Amino acid sequence: MLSVYLLTSLFACGEAPPPPPPAAPPKAAVPAPPPPAPVAAPAPTGPYTPDPLAQAAYDAAKAAGAEAKTNPKAGDAAASAAGKIQYEKCQICHGATGAGDGIAGAALPQKPSQFTWDERWAATTPGTKHWIILNGIAGTSMAPLGLTEDQAWEVLTYIEAELRKK
Ligand code: HEC
């Protein structure tokens, strides 16, 4: 009863009605749609001439006796599956499809190699690539990533079987 009295007397006194509640805060901006999935850059074609840093790595692999090694796991499906997991460490630079277009690669002074470039892929032996995966290419962002000998063969098996599949 008291409150009814108070209310009536309030309005009776000519008080302005209470202000409308403040407008609801604007809804949070709709998040931008995710960027489109990367489209594989076209593989370069034509002859490959190694730059001095890559050439130095090839020479070091040769001096270490790695050049002539062959991949003991080539074509092995289980090795390819294991290599796919290791490849997660590579795709930030070499790209999900091996086209050298990973997100970090764009910012590098020396672009990651494109595994899809036939002439470059053919220019080194599996043993040289294995040595590079284990030892990196000095002076570039291709650093050793801590793979074991077996894991390095497995990731090569994956690149051959899936990324270079024609
Ligand atoms: C931080 C970036 C980065 C990461 C991560 C990376 N690479 Fe590289 N990779 C490079 C760059 C840069 C080159 C050298 C390009 C050049 O010399 O022209 C290279 C070169 C190579 C080469 C030599 C290719 C050739 O024919 O000369 C191989 C093989 C290779 N990477 C494999 C891998 C594998 C496998 C992984 C993952 C385990 C990996 N890389 C991770 C940046 C990276």
Quote the pLDDT of residue 25.
60
Cα–Cα separations (whole angstroms), residue 152 to 18, 73, 105, 135: 74, 10, 21, 11
The pLDDT, as a whole number, for residue 105 is 84
Query: Domain tally for the chain?
Result: 1
* From 71, 80, 89, 93, mutation site for ligand 1 pocket: most ligand atoms within 8 A of C-beta: 93
pTM, full prediction: 0.80
In a domain, 12, yes or no: no
Domain membership flag for residue 78: yes
Give the residue among 111, 84, 1, 93 at the shortest CA–CA distance from 38: 93
Q: Is the CB of 66 under 6 A from ligand 1?
A: no
Residue nearest to atom 29 of ligand 1 (CA): 129
Here the CATH number for the domain that contains residue 105 is 1.10.760
Ligand 1 near 145 CB (within 6 A): yes
For ligand 1, whether the C-beta of 163 sits within 6 Å is no
> Range of 83's domain?
74-163
Ligand 1 contact via 53 beta carbon (within 6 Å): yes
Burial level of 66, CB count in 10 A (0-12/13-18/19+)? Answer: buried
115 neighbors 98 (Cβ within 8 angstroms): yes
Number of neighbouring beta carbons within 10 Å of residue 64: 14
What stretch of H or E contains 131? helix 126-135
Per the CB < 8 A criterion, the answer to whether 127 and 67 are in contact is yes
Q: Which residues of the chain have pLDDT under 50?
A: 1-13
- State the pLDDT at residue 17: 64
DSSP state of 98: S
